[in-house]
Amino acid sequence: MKGQKNTVLANNVLLLWSGLLLFLSPLITSQQEYLVAVEAGSKLPQTLAHSVAAYDGNDTIYVFGGYNETCPPSYLSDQILRYTVSTDSIEVAARFPKGLCYGAVTSDNEGAYYFFGGYDEFEQSLAIYKFSSISGTVSQVSFLPNGVIQTASFQSNSKTSYVFGGGLVATSIIKFDTETDTITDVIPMPVEYDQMLSFWDNVNQVAYIFGSRRPTPGAEPVMVFSPESNEITTLTNFTFYEFEYPTRGVMTTDGIYGYGVGGFFPYDSIMQFHLQSLETKYVPVLNHPGANGTEFWGAGAAYVNSLNRIYFFGGVSYKSGGDSNFNDKIWFIDLSPLDG
């Protein structure tokens, strides 16, 4: 009976909380749509933020670099971690030549991953590193023409990646060919973004680029980049919450939805973007590390299609009046409740 009362109380709190969010903004989903963040049994080897995660399409998520507050003097991680989904286990797969964070990762879908830019131990990194998940080796294959920080990226196909930076650094959209390891400086970015993410629309063959500039209140217009024409346009009459801190984006395998994790209000939600209807909404997440007035950002994130889950790793939690806490936890969010 006591357990039943606790369950009823928890449900009532959930309804009140969801109703308040619904009142605050039309962007937030109805109270019938909510998700749960589940803490995995494994933890990262150390606290970590501003890493990048990539799923191999099978049973492995790789976590690249990041900021480790327990590792002076540079505080940057040189590790590439291998998280096995089925066994909920994590280990070091390889190491970069130096610590790196705030970069971006793409893949050739044949076991090779490419890490672009970010910060290294001393300054902006211009290096492009290739990690072979087959041989476990890391090598530098090229240089960027300019720094890309708090970076977003997308792939138009398995051999062609695009990367561009935030961090209020003037930058261009850069094209990278994984067959030849060559760089093409495509087009200047019209806005110097601070925080950003992007989603690739395989139907219309365009990328949607979201971004914010912290010194300028409010979110910037969503940019639409066409690799075919090498042109950038903007979406009008489009609303989303500004990114106050670094965020990460993932996409479902069918290419219908893109999701943003961390860095925006409501902090205990995920952003859902429908690539065809262009509808954006924010789905409440119970047990989210950004709950109860806590701001949350800087987690590496990946989507696992076989389980319909978003996994996210580490990140930073901050509550007004307190200190920033770096996390060593791993969470996953089952998106199945949104299918009904």
Residues 249 and 330 in one domain: yes
Q: Which residues pair with 248 in a beta bridge?
A: 261
Residues 126 and 219 in one domain: yes
Residues 215 and 77 in one domain: yes
Asked whether 221 and 238 are in contact (CB, 8 A), the reply is: yes
- Residues contacting 323, CB < 8 A, separation 6+: none
The pLDDT score that the predictor gives to residue 20 is: 37
Residue 267 is part of a domain; what is its CATH number?
Answer: 2.120.10.80
Quote the longest CA-to-CA distance of the chain: 66
pLDDT at 317 over 90: yes
Q: Share the mean pLDDT of the chain.
A: 88
Asked whether 114 and 129 are in contact (CB, 8 A), the reply is: yes
Class of residue 13 by CB neighbours under 10 A (exposed 0-12, middle 13-18, buried 19+): exposed
pLDDT at 25 over 70: no
Mean pLDDT computed over 144-162 = 90
Express each pLDDT in 30-72 by its tens digit: 445 689 999 999 999 999 999 999 999 999 999 999 999 888 8
The pLDDT score that the predictor gives to residue 31 is: 45
Residues 101 and 211 in one domain: yes
Express each pLDDT in 108-152 by its tens digit: 989 999 999 999 987 899 999 999 999 999 999 999 988 888 888
Asked whether 48 and 67 are in contact (CB, 8 A), the reply is: yes
pLDDT class for 254, splitting at 50, 70, 90?
Answer: very high
Express each pLDDT in 90-100 by its tens digit: 999 999 999 99
Residues 108 and 44 in one domain: yes
Residues 124 and 268 in one domain: yes
Mean pLDDT computed over 165-172 = 74
Express each pLDDT in 222-249 by its tens digit: 999 999 999 999 987 777 888 889 999 9
Mean pLDDT computed over 196-211 = 94
Whole-model pTM: value is: 0.90
For residue 184, which amino acid is it? T
For the chain, the C-alpha Rg in angstroms (whole number) is 19
Residues 179 and 244 in one domain: yes
Total length of the chain: 340
Local structure of residue 220 (DSSP, 8 states): P
Asked whether 219 and 195 are in contact (CB, 8 A), the reply is: no
Residues 99 and 159 in one domain: yes
Residues 22 and 70 in one domain: no
User: Phi and psi dihedrals of 83, rounded to 5?
Assistant: -105, 120
pLDDT at 297 over 80: yes
Mean pLDDT computed over 323-338 = 96
Handedness of CA 49, 51, 54, 58 (dihedral sign): negative
Residues 9 and 155 in one domain: no
Handedness of CA 142, 147, 151, 153 (dihedral sign): negative
Number of domains the chain is built from: 2
pLDDT class for 21, splitting at 50, 70, 90?
Answer: very low
Residues 297 and 252 in one domain: yes
Residues 17 and 160 in one domain: no
pLDDT class for 26, splitting at 50, 70, 90?
Answer: very low
Domain with 26, as residue range(s), is 1-32
d(CA 263, CA 214): 12
Express each pLDDT in 79-88 by its tens digit: 999 999 999 9
Class of residue 338 by CB neighbours under 10 A (exposed 0-12, middle 13-18, buried 19+): middle
